[in-house]
Structure 1
Amino acid sequence: MSNHALAERHRLAELLAAAGPDAPTLCAGWSTRDLAAHLVIRERRPDAAAGIRGGPLAGWTRRVQESYAGRPYEELVRMFRAGPPPFSLFSLPGADEAGNTVEYYVHAEDVARAGDGPAPAAVPAGRAEALWRRLSLPARMEAGRRSPVRLELCHPDGRTLAVGPAGPATVRITGEPGELVLLAFGRGARARVEVDGPHDAVEALRHALPLPERG
């Protein structure tokens, strides 16, 4: 049975190790050290993980993450690579795969695409399909909530996912599943997608979501 989260964990750990502690990422304001600290507390400090997405515990989460970021970088990468400890929710059967396949894919690309290195490698077919199956929730909760127009996210094989407000104009965005995932999570400026729709609708979307530079 495939374990895409485990494969992405190892890929992300390798990218972090190769980049070193001070490399940029696509996470605004975060270096690779900050990202590594985030990954560690997310599965090893449930008291701090609760504030990752904001709310009343956000300040506590920030302080804990800053504390972890002060540790030796190699230790952070090693802890992340080792996987969740027994007390972590992610150690429950199936939880790592369900909760981290998309998370680790996105963060791996945050490291890989932050610099001017070679184009990202193709995603294995099975993993691409897993990303497509998991696209609906982030697309609706992230891109769909921010978009001022109807979005139609299009798989190259013809499958589509519509999100965002209904209206007279629709913007079609076509790309491989991984690229659509990156767009949904606000990394569209570095995603390899094609954007098509009425000019006014595309421009309105561009003000709400990062999109690739105009061709």
Structure 2
Amino acid sequence: MTWMETERAALVDTFRDADPDADTLCEGWTVRHLLAHLVLREHRPVRNAVELAARRPPGRELFLGSVVERARTPAGYAALLQRFAGGMSAANPVSWPGDGAHLLEYVIHHEDVRRGGDEPAEARVLPPDEVRAIWARLAPFAKLGYRRSPVGVVLAVPGGPRAVVRRAADAVVLTGDPVELALHASGRRTAADVEVMGRPKTVERFLDHFAGDPDQQPGQGRARSGDFSPRR
């Protein structure tokens, strides 16, 4: 079993136990919206791409709303969850990239559900091999997340590996578990347990830059409309 499928199974359990109307870290989206998003991206990728390109405010999406409405009843939500739990067939091109396209998606959205609302859950303890798999895919993703940073950015795991994701003369070092670093890179900054270290002025430039970036929304600790990528 791939790590994406391990994470999918854990996410299914979380979706099953969660209140479908509860808030998530994806601003404007409930648990029901997030589940609908995952099903749409896997089984209707063209429609999902149109949604991402349109960048409509939460609740005004072109296609997502109809999926959400069909899942308003307990039976409808259960059916939507069952579709996500069933995964993708080998004939579905969306499945072909495997962990490379889906592991971070599931991990980040899993934390969107767990850490949303008024009583966020504590960080999970994941299998070491899964943590290593997350780290292996983190640097390319973080390069996108920090591509506009006015200073260099280095990711560091305490007592573990480091990765330069943006080069510059002055740099900050972001230290945390790979899951926390993934959340930080995706714009869920106040939900992520990450330490920002560096020269005071360099740290200030880094924090000030992202505090004023509407696509990152660091002050709210939220991502835009449920897509884990820093921009939609």
1:73 counterpart residue number: 77
* Distance in 1 between residues matched to 2:156 and 2:77, nearest whole Å: 39
**TM-score using structure 2 length:** 0.80
Aligned-CA RMSD value: 2.5
Q: Say whether residues 1:98 and 2:100 are aligned partners.
A: yes
Equivalent positions of 1:44-193 (< 5 A) are 44-54=43-53, 62-71=61-70, 72-85=76-89, 87-92=91-96, 95-115=97-117, 116-142=119-145, 144-164=146-166, 166-167=168-169, 169-193=170-194
Which of 191-200 and 202-211 deviates more?
A: 202-211
Q: Secondary structure at the match of 1:195?
A: strand
Q: 1:158 to 1:91 in 2, by over 3 A?
A: closer
**TM-score using structure 1 length:** 0.86
* Distance in 1 between residues matched to 2:61 and 2:186, nearest whole Å: 21
- Choose between structure 1 and 2: higher helix proportion: 1
Which of 6-15 and 103-112 deviates more?
A: 6-15
* Distance in 2 between residues matched to 1:119 and 1:68, nearest whole Å: 30
Q: 1:198 to 1:158 in 2, by over 3 A?
A: same
Equivalent position amino acid for 1:193 in 2: V
Task: Flag the structure with more relative contact order, 1 or 2, with Cα contacts below 8 A and sequence separation at least 6.
Answer: 2
Q: Say whether residues 1:8 and 2:7 are aligned partners.
A: yes
Q: Aligned-pair distance for 1:20?
A: 2.1
Q: Aligned-pair distance for 1:133?
A: 0.4
CA contact (8 A) 2:157 2:176 kept: yes
CA contact (8 A) 1:22 1:33 kept: yes
CA contact (8 A) 1:148 1:165 kept: no
CA contact (8 A) 1:193 1:212 kept: no
Where does the alignment leave 5 or more consecutive residues of structure 1 unmatched? Answer: none
Q: Aligned-pair distance for 1:107?
A: 0.3
Paired residues, number: 206
Q: Aligned-pair distance for 1:204?
A: 2.4
2:226 counterpart residue number: none
